[in-house]
C-alpha cells in the first residue's frame, strides 16, 4: 500500500502476520490501528458455509479487540479485507521514538515511504527476529488508566511516559512499567524478558508454555505491587 502511495496503514509496517488475522485483534502500532482504515471484511461462517460482510462497526473494534475474539470466536474465517486509504494524508510521527529517529536521520519532513522505512528500522532494533529467538511480540497490552490515577502516579514517577486517550483516560506503556519493575533482560535457562524491549517475553529453547505463563504472572504481580496497575496479556493462550 505504501509503495502505491496510499496513506492509512504505514505505521503498521512490519507487524508479522497475514491480512486475514489483522482484524481479529485490530492490530495496532505507533498510534495507528487497523480500525482507522478498515472498511469491511468478508468472512465465511464455518457452521453454514455462508459468506458474511462485517462492517467496521459490526467488528466492535477496541484496543487489540474485536468481535472475532469474543462473541463469534472461532466461527468465521476472514477471507478478504477492504481498506479505505487516502492518496493524501498527514503522517503520524508523535508516537514512541519515531520523531527522534527521524531527526537523527535528517528526515524532519519524511515522505510516506521514509516513515514506513523508519518504522521498520525502529522495530528491527527493538524486537527479536522470530526466526532466531521465539517470541509472540508484545506480550501485554498497554494499560489505560483514569487520568486522576495517572496524575497521582506521576508525582512519584515524573518521567512516566503516557499518551492521552480520546475518552480522557491515559495509556501507559506496559514495557516501561515492566522495565521499572526490574524485569528487562531477566532470564533463566529457558525463558526471559527481551533485553531491548521489556514488553516482549522470549523463549531461549527447552522451555514449556507453563514457563512462559509463570513468568508472565510474576511480572503481572510485581507491576501491580509497584504501581497498583493490573497489566493484562495481549496474546492468546492456546
Ligand atoms: C515480533 C512480533 C511483533 C508483533 N508486533 C505487533 C504489533 O506491533 N501490533 C500488533 O497488533 N500485533 C503484533 N504482533 C502480533 C501479531 O503480529 C498479530 O497478532 C498478527 O495479526 C498475527 O497474524 P498471523 O497471521 O500470524 O495470525 P495467527 O497468530 O496465526 O492468528 C491470530 C488469531 O487470529 C485467528 N485468525 C488468523 N487468521 C484468521 C482468519 N483468516 N480468519 C479468522 N481468524 C483468523 C487465529 O485463529 C488466532 O486466534 C507481533 C508479533 C510478533 C511475533
* Closest by CA position to 123, among listed 218, 55, 204, 194: 194
Catalytic residue flag (residue 64): yes
Percent of the chain with pLDDT over 90: 93
* Over residues 6-34, mean pLDDT: 96
Mean pLDDT, rounded, for 186-204: 96
pLDDT at 236 over 90: no
Q: Which atom of ligand 1 is nearest to the CA of 64?
A: 11
Lining ligand 1 with CB less than 6 A are: 15-18, 20-22, 24-25, 27-29, 68, 76-78, 127, 130, 135-138, 236
- 34: nearest Cα among 100, 109, 85: 85
Q: Is 138 a catalytic residue?
A: yes
Q: Which of 64, 66, 123, 135 is catalytic?
A: 64
CB 8 within 8 A of CB 83: yes
Mean pLDDT of 117-128: 94
Indicate the pTM of the whole model.
0.90
Mean pLDDT, residues 49-64: 97
pLDDT at residue number 95: 86
Rounded mean pLDDT of the chain? 96
* pLDDT recorded at residue 215: 98
Instruction: Assign 100 a pLDDT band (cuts: 50, 70, 90).
Output: very high
Say if residue 123's pLDDT is above 90: yes
d(CA 61, CA 152) in angstroms, rounded, equals 30
Contact by Cβ (8 Å): 89, 112: yes
Amino acid at each position: 500500500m505504501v509503495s502505491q502511495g496510499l496513506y492509512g496503514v504505514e505505521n503498521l509496517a512490519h507487524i508479522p502476520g497475514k491480512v486475514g488475522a489483522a482484524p481479529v485483534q485490530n492490530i495496532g502500532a505507533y498510534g495507528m490501528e487497523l480500525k482507522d482504515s478498515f472498511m469491511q471484511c468478508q468472512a465465511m461462517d464455518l457452521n453454514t458455509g455462508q459468506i458474511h460482510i462485517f462492517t467496521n462497526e459490526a467488528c466492535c473494534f477496541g484496543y487489540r479487540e474485536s468481535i472475532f475474539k469474543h462473541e463469534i470466536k472461532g466461527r468465521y474465517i476472514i477471507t478478504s479485507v477492504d481498506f479505505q486509504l487516502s492518496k493524501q494524508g498527514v503522517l503520524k510521527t508523535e508516537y514512541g521514538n519515531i520523531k527522534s529517529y527521524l531527526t537523527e536521520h535528517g528526515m524532519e519532513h519524511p515522505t510516506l515511504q521514509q516513515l514506513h522505512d523508519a518504522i521498520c528500522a525502529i522495530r528491527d532494533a527493538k524486537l527479536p527476529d522470530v526466526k532466531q529467538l521465539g517470541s509472540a511480540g508484545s506480550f501485554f497490552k498497554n494499560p489505560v488508566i483514569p487520568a486522576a490515577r495517572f496524575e497521582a502516579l506521576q508525582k512519584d514517577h515524573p518521567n512516566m511516559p503516557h499518551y492521552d486517550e480520546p475518552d480522557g483516560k491515559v495509556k501507559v506503556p506496559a514495557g516501561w512499567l515492566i522495565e521499572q519493575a526490574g524485569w528487562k533482560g531477566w532470564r533463566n535457562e529457558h525463558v526471559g524478558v527481551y533485553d531491548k524491549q521489556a514488553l516482549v517475553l522470549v523463549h531461549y529453547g527447552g522451555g514449556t508454555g507453563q514457563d512462559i505463563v509463570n513468568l508472565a504472572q510474576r511480572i503481572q504481580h510485581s507491576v501491580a505491587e509497584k504501581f497498583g496497575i493490573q497489566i493484562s496479556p495481549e496474546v492468546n493462550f492456546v
